[in-house]
Chain A
Amino acid sequence: MQHEPYDIGPARPRLDALAKACGAELFSADSYPPGLLWAGARRCGVPHGILRGVDAAAARALPGVHAVLTREDVPGSNRQGIVHKDMPVLCGTRVRHCGDPVALVVAESRDILRQALALVRVDIEPLPVLADIDAALAPDAPLIHEADGSNVLLAAEIRKGDAEEALAQCDVVLEETFFTPSQAHAFLETENGLACLDEDGVLHLTVSTQAPFRDRFEIGHALGLAPWKIRVHSPFLGGGFGGKDGATVQCLLALAALRLPGRTIKMWWDREESFLAGYKRHAARMHYRLGAMHDGTLKSVVCRLWYDSGAYAHLGGEIMELGMEHAAGPYRVEHMDCRGLCVYTNNPVAGAFRGFGVAQVSLAFEGMMDRLAGRLGRDPLDLRRQNALRRGDRNCAGVTLTSSVGLDECLRRVRDHELWTTRHTWKKAAPPFTRRGVGIAAVFNGMGYGRGLADNAIAKIELTPDGRFVIYSGVPDMGQGNASTFAQIAGEMLCQDAGRLEVVQPDTERAHPSGSASAGRTTYTFGQALIKACELMTAKLVRRAALALMIDEPGGITLVPGAVRHLPTGKELPLAAMGAMLPRDDRVCVAEYLMPVSREVPDTGRDFPLGFPHLIFPFAAHLVRVEVDELTGLVRVCDYLAATDGGRVLNPQNFHQQIEGAVAQGLGFALMEGFGTENARITTPDLSTYLIPTSLDFPDTQSVAVETLEHSGPFGMKGVGEVGLNGPLPAVASALSDALGARIDRAPVTPAMILELLASRGAQA
């Protein structure tokens, strides 16, 4: 067992799991170097206003306070943002949401920090609050970012064919407006990090971040530093889900460290600050018209999307782009006219979140499919199969699907599953005061950055002098397990057991830039680069072994666990000997990979500077069975099935973990998690008011892999981190519609909504 290669295919335990289960893995939050100082931000607490002044005198006078910094202390542009740089490190004249920071305090201890933060006096003249999209779009609305001349961050369209004309030709046209809420990532490890400026002027950061390489540029831009004077290390993250993609603590920490050279500064947002200042999923409104023929053929989709970006851009335009690109669902639709507006408001800042813009439209396009099935009297699963995208089809954005498409097979797995075939008898057996319903959803989620931004990764692998392999990961592991998968890829390629494989978490000084942990790209892009690096390593070791074994040519030399073996003679050279023999430069291999992009240039989507279109899509079909209590409106999820096409599965354990976790998060989105605001002030400030699922809330998800072959991916895989989140909301909406005989158009579905729907259908019941 010990020498069994840690290879691709079997369900292998993760290499990091045991250390984590023993509390031995050090997250960035777990670092308390001696002499550290605590930093914290004074948040303005007002949704919109003119910042008249910040009085820090009392805070500065408090013993144990090392610095209180305000806008004047910020060098550089004072602007953060991944693409669109509009978010101040510290606000100077204007505050745009309750979590905006107006002062940064550094203190000896957390207690003193807390006291000092309370002593910072802020003078804000309130401005009218733009609490939702309509308020922000009103003609007389004040501008949240005056320089932009509008509260619209991005207005864009994707058009294919002539959708209005086609709608007029359709036998059936349906219309509906859908709403999805803001959602908090609620990772268990809240945003945190440490920073220290060393005597050589190099700024060292350890941060719970999904994008250490990009962070350097973001900090550099905001604070006027050369990015190469910034070193970022990202240990294992205690969850990310998109919420640690982009600046959280980074620039504030860096600012504090610049002011206090030689001191290590720690910042760790508590749960309330995380909810107040952290990123959220965009709330959305989606107006749809769907046209189809009597035989069920989809013809045309006309839709208008509004995404609430909150106070700043983050990746709002890119996120809405993904929603638009998926707006008509994973179906063949000849004509689409999709227009989107991503709008600034005074709500908490929206940003990346698993299901990146697609989780929203999934409710809408699947809601339309259910309505169409109802109108045509069709089996909803059959109607989806009839229209499902297949390889070679053009999707609704006009891109030909040249890569793997397993949607129909996903739907077939659901159709043949007992949970579907027995649905009628199950529904009839509902106990008193209970209604039952069964729902399905078909979803997809574009993988990678899309066109316009190189989705590139550079892998480095080193043979150590003691004969092990170290993989320098360039993409953080926020819990999705890519670090261990990298070891598995190397184990497969180099035929080595787990004991000889080590993955070093991203450190900008030791690894190569490989992009962010996001977009379902980590294993795909870095994995391909790593395969190439391993090929280089194998070729190198074979040739060096030939030299050492005095064999005239390297044919017949192969790697085995712990050694290189010459097959014709049976001679072996231990890896430890090779490691000891070779100079370091010769023990390292580096290779890179660039994700392919669509070669088609659709004559649309020109408003998107980057991220349009995508080429590779994982697909899924989900089924849920629910019970509704007629007296309370409470919903019980009884059974859940997810059939997912993620290409070939490299490690079934990791694969199913991704699906199960995404389904839980998606069920939370469907049934309990509305991140609440009232007039742009948060009404769900903590984990007692913002509820996420517990172990008692949902059943075990039955996850089924539909293994297509993604030719472009490492060992045939494609990324499944996101697609699983898109299914639960539309599936639950579908099941509730089935149970209640009334359609669901918004989330989260509350018990009160259920009782209202029951009352409105009371006469028929």
Chain B
Amino acid sequence: MIIRFCINGRDTELDVRGDERAVDILRERLGLTGTKEGCGTGECGACAILVDGRARLSCLTLAAQLDGRDLTTIEGLGSPEAPHPLQQSFAERGAVQCGFCTPGMVVAAADLLARDPHPGREAIREALSGNLCRCTGYSRILDAVHKVDER
């Protein structure tokens, strides 16, 4: 089936199979490998992307469900040359270690900040509780979101 969507500001059309997952078309067909896969069952959050502004698990989303939607992946939030404030804050505050969970973490944080621009630390903890990180112990990630406005 043909699906059309806007991804990172660009209108895109793809022919997909009914059982294809969103994460696979992003990574393998659109070359957007910033979106990671860590479990395939919604337990780790590494595959989070924004769909109509809300963070979703792209491993538990069918490609077909993207039809007509507006998507933002980690690449759409910013690049090393023009990073999103969250990406900058993650990098500066030591919130990145191996970095494999980081894109999903940043996407989940972007969803939070869109709804609550100045969340408290506990609200951030809760908002990121679906994104597993095995390297950090989380506190620098919480700092990065909490202090995103402080430079």
Contact = CB atoms under 8 A, between A and B. Distances in A.
B38 A21 contact: no
A22 B78 contact: yes
Contact of B35 (A23, A32, A692): A23
B43 A21 contact: no
Interface-central residue, A18, A25, A188, A700, by most chain B CB under 10 Å: A188
Nearest to B46: A188
B132 A694 contact: yes
B137 A236 contact: no
B79 A24 contact: yes
Nearest to B127: A695
Contacts of B88: 18, 21
A687 B43 contact: yes
Interface string A226-249: 000000000011111100000000
B1 to A, nearest CB: 17
Contacts of A23: 32-35, 73-75, 102-103
B133 to A, nearest CB: 7
B136 interface: yes
A27 B35 CA distance: 11
B131 interface: yes
Main secondary structure of the interface of A (DSSP, over half): loop
At the interface, is chain B mostly helix, strand, loop or mixed? loop
Given A188-B132, A188-B134, A189-B100, A22 B140 contact: no
Contacts, number: 183
Interface residues of A, number: 56
A698 B137 contact: yes
Could you say which interface size class chain B belongs to? Answer: 35 or more
Nearest to B73: A23
Contacts of A656: 94
B15 interface: no
A663 interface: yes
Contact of B98 (A237, A663, A695): A237
Contacts of B131: 695
B14 interface: no
B76 to A, nearest CB: 9
B101 A14 contact: no
Contacts of B83: 18, 21-22
Please indicate which of the listed interface residues B36, B46, B80, B138 has the most CB atoms of chain A within 10 Å of its own CB.
Answer: B138
Residue of B28, B31, B139 most packed against chain A (CB within 10 A):
B139
B36 A695 contact: no
A238 B39 contact: no
Interface of A: 11, 13-14, 16-27, 29-30, 32, 185-190, 236-241, 270-271, 478-481, 653-654, 656-657, 660-661, 663-665, 686-688, 692-696, 698, 700-701
13 contacts: A17-B94, A18-B87, A18-B88, A20-B91, A20-B99, A21-B102, A23-B103, A30-B33, A188-B134, A190-B38, A238-B99, A687-B43, A695-B124
Closest 4 A/B residue pairs (Cβ): A23-B34, A479-B98, A20-B99, A238-B100
